[in-house]
A and B are shown apart, each in its own frame.
Chain A
Amino acid sequence: MTAALRFDPIRLPEKCEQLRKEVRAFLAEEIAAGTFDPHQPNREDTDAPEFSRRVGAKGWLGMTWPKKYGGQERSFLERYVVTEEMRVANAPTRRFFVADRQSGPVLLKYAPEHVKMDILPRICRGEICFAIGMSEPNSGSDLFAAKTRATKTDGGYLINGTKIWTSSAHIADYMIAIFRTSPPTKENRRHGLTQFLVKMKQPGIQVNPIGQITGQYEFNEVVFTDYFVPDDHVLGEVDGAWKQATSELAYERSGPERFLETYYVLTELVRAVGKNPDTRSAEGIGRLVAQVHTMRRMSVSVAGMLQAGKEPVVEASIVKDIGTIWEQALPHRVRELAAFVEETATNRETLEKQLSFAIKTAPKLTIQGGTTEVLRGIIARGLGLR
């Protein structure tokens, strides 16, 4: 008997709608002030430190965390609203997004108290940026093949090796990375990796930029040479990172960023088509809207189940699997419909520019944060096939 999948019809509570109004008003002010252009997802400078601080000042970073660390103790559904409104507006969230979604929760769970007291409030204020050090030149989806070594020394560890495809490493203040502290055992090839908090911008760390096909500069190679990490920056169990890696994934995998990455082309298509679409355009738009609506209902449902203390690991993987495939296909479907847009549409140029960027972005969406193949393996395990 297969364990039944659950997608409870979760509705956002009333207080979320008040919050949504506040977020929209804030973003409208930022747009009016010229902080960012919502029609240009491809702007060169997506690092916006001042914007990040203003979001922090609103209390929208680390908003589910305990107050003593600077959090607001609000619900995951409230965080959901902030995240989706930022995403749909194409706000420059790069500086704080990883810290808020992923790094902060890892620190909350595994960092010593004095480290938490030091770092978490700064995340909440929007002051610091995090990177994630997982992939290596010969270890991508196969996380447990990581070779970068952490060798025990007095009071800490010396790090030697290379991480790669590390988003935001060039602007990050910290990285949460996994390093090899012991060789794998015969019984468990996942054994021997440890999670560390790494302070960036120090001697012993070299960040080398890697160009991307979109023309953006987002990811890097990070080379460690005898870089010292103190003992109190070990996160969790030495050699036991594999036990920690899976539990946070549901948060990472099912958020609005997993299906809204290219959403802007749909909005722009609707604008270009105008009030009286022909049958082909109407059908195309209708199908796309039905998809985005369904994806959002699934994603909200997972957020609601997380809030209720459940662990919808398979459901979250499904959201990322079909969500990223949808956001990857979206610009191609919009392109097909855009071929019939009237020459007179005033936003034609904007739409074409957006499409060009979205189509170039699309290939990464089913790779970053867990490939389609890895996700389907997880789903298959959940179905009892492995």
Chain B
Amino acid sequence: MAESENIVVETAEKIFGDLADAQTINHDKKGAWKSPLWQALTEAGLPLAWVPEDCGGSGASLADGFAVLNAAGRHAIAVPLAETMLAGWLLAQAKISSPEGEMTVIPATPKDRITLNADGTLSGRARSVPFAKAAKHFAVLAGNSIALVEAAKCRIEAGIGLGGDNSDIVALDKVAPVTTKPAPKGFDQTQLLLMGGVVRSLQIAGALEAMLEISVRYSNERVAFEKKISKFQAVQHNLAKLAGESAAALAAATSAADTIANSKGFDDAYFLEAASAKIRCSEAAEKGGAIAHQVHGAIGFTIEHILHRFSLRALAWRDDFGSESYWAVELGKLVADRGADELWPLVASR
């Protein structure tokens, strides 16, 4: 999806290019880049891209939104664009209108549960919620209900994740939501987490594309032993492996995104696509990121260099919405339950 295919993605690419240059951001210790970037994204209608127009959004297709988030990964975007899009999408499942401003989704891990109390309030504790500290509202899945909650009514224990972005604990203690509506029949936490997982997969794939490009460029500049390091076969083969990891991540993530975008309902093939994307992209983040750092040597380990913006975020994104080991267990259970002779028909179903 490197070529911009339509106006939505082109718009996003332009904003990322103009206002989220990794080099500029990396040197801006005060975070002055953040609000112009968010403002431009908001003016372009991107944070609420997945919200239908009658719910206050810009009504872009799922496919366009996924392409935007793959591009966001290529730029290691560090504002809650993906999170707000996911929150808007979740709220729209229950036809709840989205407010303006930053949002995020709760829960963001498989173990956490939020409960809807008899009096209409919400209780529970959610860990590793991305960008909770920056959010004005939360989109919450509580059992069979979806709710819009003001962030100010919750207790937030701020934390910083592996990638340098907020990853916070949100405690809801009988919080009265702005709105609560029933989720669509059959919609559950698994589907929310898989959607989040596919979003993270696309971001990881994008970050790997960027790491490949940065690493190839560096290897063609850096001279050691009197030649460019790109001329050493050991370096070439490492970069070829990085290309393989990047390619696998891209294929897995875009295939899963395409599946969700064209889904006629949740089934085993949908699960296979989404879970596999999270598993394979997470593995690629580890293997690919290690090679990108190896090629860069010590310079890539410095805070001044941009590589960490991509490599650490890709590693951090593995943990959101269920890690690869979590989804591998779930996928393995599903495969075992279907039985050996139904494995190939599942793999070859599309």
Taking Cβ atoms with an 8 Å cutoff, the residues of A that contact B are 1-2, 4-9, 11-12, 20, 84-85, 88, 263, 266-268, 270-271, 273-277, 279, 281-287, 289-298, 301, 314-315, 318, 321-322, 373, 375-377, 379-380, 382-386
Contact = CB atoms under 8 A, between A and B. Distances in A.
B329 interface: yes
Interface string B329-350: 1111101110111011001101
Given A9-B259, A284-B332, 6 more contacts: A9-B255, A290-B327, A301-B251, A314-B243, A376-B240, A384-B216
A292 B346 CA distance: 11
26 contacts: A5-B247, A6-B2, A7-B247, A20-B348, A88-B344, A263-B344, A267-B344, A270-B339, A279-B329, A283-B328, A284-B328, A285-B335, A286-B330, A286-B335, A289-B272, A290-B327, A293-B280, A294-B248, A296-B348, A322-B247, A373-B237, A375-B240, A376-B240, A379-B240, A379-B244, A380-B237
Given A283-B329, A283-B332, A376 B236 contact: yes
Given A5-B246, A285-B332, A286-B335, A383 B216 contact: yes
Given A373-B237, A385-B236, A289 B251 contact: no
B276 interface: yes
Contact of A289 (B2, B212, B331, B341): B331
A377 B244 contact: no
Contacts of B239: 380, 383, 385
Contacts of A268: 340
Given A293-B347, A294-B251, A282 B2 contact: no
Contact of A7 (B237, B251, B333): B251
A314 B311 CA distance: 24
B254 interface: yes
B258 interface: yes
B237 A12 contact: no
B220 A286 contact: no
B13 interface: no
Contacts of A12: 350
Contacts of B231: 385-386
Contacts of B213: 1-2
Interface in B230-263: 230-231, 233, 235-237, 239-241, 243-244, 246-248, 250-252, 254-255, 257-259
Nearest to A297: B255
B350 to A, nearest CB: 6
B3 interface: yes
Contact of A282 (B230, B333, B348): B333
A322 B237 contact: no
B9 to A, nearest CB: 14
B275 interface: yes
Contacts of A383: 212, 216, 239-240, 243
A291 to B, nearest CB: 7
A301 B247 CA distance: 11
B344 A298 contact: no
Given A283-B329, A289-B343, A385-B230, A7 B250 contact: yes
Contacts of A88: 344, 348
Tell me what chain A mostly uses at the interface: helix, strand, loop, or mixed.
helix
**Most B CB atoms within 10 A — which of A376, A382, A386?**
A376
B210 to A, nearest CB: 10
A84 B337 CA distance: 24
B279 interface: yes
A2 B235 CA distance: 16
Contacts of A9: 251, 254-255, 257-259
Contacts of A275: 336-337, 339
A287 B286 CA distance: 15
A283 B279 CA distance: 10
B83 interface: no
Interface centre among B247, B337, B350 (most CB of A within 10 A): B247
B117 interface: no
Given A4-B209, A297-B252, A318 B216 contact: no
Given A270-B335, A294-B276, A4 B236 contact: no
B236 A380 contact: yes
B219 interface: yes
Given A285-B335, A287-B279, A290-B280, A379 B243 contact: yes
Contact of A385 (B219, B251, B343): B219
B240 A294 contact: no
Interface in B294-350: 324-325, 327-333, 335-337, 339-341, 343-344, 347-348, 350
B339 A291 contact: no
A297 B347 CA distance: 10
Contacts of B247: 5, 7, 298, 315, 318, 322
B80 to A, nearest CB: 27
Contact of B240 (A6, A287, A315, A380): A380
B295 to A, nearest CB: 11
B99 to A, nearest CB: 33
Contact of A286 (B235, B237, B327): B327
B102 interface: no
A2 B247 CA distance: 13
A373 B241 CA distance: 11
Interface in B167-181: none
Nearest to A379: B240
A267 B340 contact: yes
Interface-centre pick from A276, A297, A298 (highest chain B CB count, 10 A): A297
Nearest to B219: A385
Contacts of A295: 248
A88 to B, nearest CB: 5
B251 to A, nearest CB: 4
B347 A292 contact: yes
Given A274-B336, A277-B336, A384-B220, A318 B344 contact: no
Nearest to A326: B248
A294 B246 CA distance: 12
Contacts of A276: 336
What 9 pairs between A and B have smallest CB-CB spacing? A4-B2, A286-B328, A282-B332, A286-B332, A271-B340, A286-B331, A9-B258, A380-B236, A7-B251
Nearest to A282: B332
Contacts of B237: 373, 376, 380
A94 to B, nearest CB: 21
Contacts of B324: 287
A40 to B, nearest CB: 16
Given A282-B329, A373-B237, A4 B340 contact: no
